[in-house]
Amino acid sequence: MIRLSQIHAYPLKSAGGVDCTQADIGARGIIGDRRWMVVTPDGAFLTGRTLPGMVRLQARVVGDDLVLTLGSERCVVSTPTLSEPRMTVTVWGDAVSALVATDGGWLAARLGVACRLVYMDDTLRRPVDPDYALSDDITSFADGFPALLISEASLADLNSRLREPVTMAHFRPNLVASGCAAFAEDGWQQIRIGTAEFALVKPCSRCIFTTVDPQTGALTPDGEPLATLARYRRSAGGVMFGQNLLVTRPGHVGINDTITVLR
């Protein structure tokens, strides 16, 4: 039986993930996932691709606050209200108007770059790429889709080819499946987990971010695991690992929920 074995949310894009035992699923994916983002002063998004140390940041939503930690250092940021200033920010060419949060320069000091922290409120609608959207699908500040799913067996297959195994955290999925064959998820089109349903619409193309150690924020000197993936998971669209999901029915999911393949 195929089951949901892990759930991960990422309140701040490119920061460390939060392990969950259950989650509510909305149109944008896990509620609260990637609703915060770090941008340059002129609004271009910043991620671990160019600032790998971002993965060492921990971000949790506590009440109406975003709590940021880096080692023993801590910063509490209030969620901006709709009356507070906005700025235009860009994510992979999508321009949206986000609320500006106040962190007192905490992130800039620790990341070593001029930056600002922004928030996606419920009124902001960022559409999914129309080449893959099924209707009026929307997403968060994620790279392009509401959620990402990978199976444990797919990671095990990759690790069997590596000198040094990697963890699921290198790939930053929201949902992890157990009890299926390696890369079985590549053949799924529609699934149900708990009371939520998802369409699997596009394999996930992987980049240099997969070579960032999620614990240290350092790039691996040998380019792994991307180098090995490129030898057997390359297609016309890139090096693929995991499946991007759209939410076709919002609901609730929990660890050990059955994953039913509908199509």
Return the percentage of the chain with pLDDT > 70, whole number: 100
Task: Give the largest Cα separation in the chain, rounded.
Answer: 53
Give how far the C-alpha of residue 112 lies from the chain's centroid of Cα atoms, to the nearest Å: 23
Residues 57, 124, 63, 20, CA torsion sign = negative
Asked if 153 and 71 touch (Cβ cutoff 8 Å), the reply is no
pLDDT band, residue 126 (cuts 50/70/90)? very high
* Residue 191: exposure state from Cβ atoms within 10 A (0-12, 13-18, ≥19): buried
Q: Considering the entire predicted model, what is its pTM?
A: 0.96
Phi–psi pair at 255, nearest 5 degrees: -55, 135
Residue (of 77, 68, 67, 50) closest to 217 by Cα position: 50
pLDDT, residue 179, reads 98
pLDDT, residue 80, reads 97
Asked if 148 and 245 touch (Cβ cutoff 8 Å), the reply is yes
Average pLDDT over residues 32-38: 98
Return the percentage of the chain with pLDDT > 90, whole number: 100
Spatial neighbors of 109 by CB under 8 A, at least 6 apart, are: none
Give how far the C-alpha of residue 198 lies from the chain's centroid of Cα atoms, to the nearest Å: 16
Asked if 148 and 38 touch (Cβ cutoff 8 Å), the reply is no
Average pLDDT over residues 123-149: 97
pLDDT band, residue 247 (cuts 50/70/90)? very high
pLDDT, residue 4, reads 98
Average pLDDT over residues 236-247: 97
